[in-house]
Amino acid sequence: MKRLTIEDFKNEMGMYCKRYFPEAAIRIEELLSCYIKLRILISPELFIAARYNVQNGRQDFQLIYRGERVFGIDNLKQWHCHPPGNPETHVPCPEPSLEEVFRKVKEVVETGWLKKVK
């Protein structure tokens, strides 16, 4: 993915949020000229935490359920995912587009996997 501006990242996150989670609300938690931290509130116990640093290209997406990460994708050192059922594991993966991130989060939410989380 080409390096986006903060504004482009924010706009694309909003677009995919509406497409995949139309009832969700986006809250900007931190906004600087080179960094943004968002929270996409899917339900009272479920949200996506997203961070983007335009200077170094660092991206981090976590699905949080009842205060615990249940899935994630980020590029610390290299692109990898934190799979459902074992979110502490780092599984190498190709760089996803923002839409692919939303698609994967939607799959986790819709597969009923969250019902297995205590």
Instruction: Tell me which residue has tokens 């990242």.
Output: 9
Q: Which strands, in side-by-side order, build the sheet including 59-65?
A: 25-31, 35-43, 46-53, 59-65, 68-74, 80-82, 91-92
Give tens-digit pLDDT for 66-78.
999 999 999 999 9
pLDDT in tens, 80-105: 999 998 899 999 999 999 999 999 99
